[in-house]
Amino acid sequence: MFFLEHGTCYDLATGGIRHAITPCTGLLTTADRYSAVNIHAGSVAEGFCVPRSAVHAALTSTFERLPPVDFEFVPLQDLTAGPAAHLFKLMRFFRDEICADQNLEISPIALTSFQEMFCLLMVQNLPHTLSDTGSRVQTIAPRQLRRALEFARAHIAMPITITDMAAAAGVSVRALQINFRRFLNVTPMAYLRQLRLDGARQDLLTAMPSATVSEIARRWGFIHQGRFSQEYRAAFGVLPKYDLGRSYEKNRRAAS
């Protein structure tokens, strides 16, 4: 649970410890630790919740061990600079720009991808109980990298994650991330996104006349239409609307 303040401040207790939350300082804690709150006049607060299971999955895949029972993040987070500030901006962007007037149930790929990305950023950048232990990062064999690539290509239309790719390769998420950079000069997330752009293009080209760009984009996890158009044009040199049904129409004319 993330607690933030935009107006004055409020005090939030986690067990016997009280934390002052101001516009410069946010609090990161868990639901079972939260115990009381004292809201000051003029307070304008907001909060975000992230599933504990998703955070634990990111921890396990990054550090190759189960989190200890006393695991916790450093509670007070600096919102003026650093990773916490960037994470909150990312969460707000997802809420305000991506989720606005959208039904995420129609795009499980988008929701799954964002949740995993956010949780990995949390455990790899915010200070917590395991920060000083580091994670073992090994050089993976070419066959392991190949297994990850083959798994991604075979399941790209499904809401797979980087964790799924790492499991298919038999390595940790951190090892997969570093070795993707080392051998392919790209992140696993960027690789998945390019595969999904390719999938969206194929569907656009062969789409029936009744299909729409937004419908196909959502199917492949792209729910912000402006950003999808920009990425599509950067990748293929044309806006998606010009590819919609192009191969279908060409084949129809050839058949007639």
Q: 176-190: string of b/e by CB count within 10 Å (b at 16+)?
A: bbbbbeeeeeeebbe
Average pLDDT score over the chain: 88
Question: Is pLDDT at 237 greater than 90 in this prediction?
Answer: yes
Question: Is pLDDT at 256 greater than 60 in this prediction?
Answer: no
Q: What integer pLDDT is reported at residue 245 of this predicted model?
A: 87
Question: Is pLDDT at 255 greater than 80 in this prediction?
Answer: no
Q: What integer pLDDT is reported at residue 128 of this predicted model?
A: 93
Question: Is pLDDT at 98 greater than 80 in this prediction?
Answer: no
pLDDT in tens, 161-187: 999 999 999 988 888 999 999 999 999
Does the CA dihedral 53-55-61-67 come out positive or negative?
A: negative
Taking the mean position of all CA atoms in its chain, how far away is CA 143? Answer: 27
Average pLDDT over residues 112-140: 85
Q: What integer pLDDT is reported at residue 252 of this predicted model?
A: 62
d(CA 66, CA 60): 5
Average pLDDT over residues 191-218: 93
Question: Is pLDDT at 247 greater than 90 in this prediction?
Answer: no
Question: Is pLDDT at 93 greater than 80 in this prediction?
Answer: yes
Average pLDDT over residues 55-80: 89
Q: What integer pLDDT is reported at residue 250 of this predicted model?
A: 65
d(CA 138, CA 57): 20
Average pLDDT over residues 205-222: 91
Statement: the pTM of the whole predicted model exceeds 0.85: no
The topology (CATH level 3) of 190-255 is Arc Repressor Mutant, subunit A (1.10.10)
Q: Where does the chain have alpha helices with state H?
A: 52-63, 83-93, 108-125, 142-155, 162-169, 173-184, 188-205, 213-219, 225-236, 240-243, 246-255
pLDDT in tens, 52-67: 999 999 998 888 888 8
What count of other Cβ atoms lies within 10 Å of the Cβ of residue 22?
16
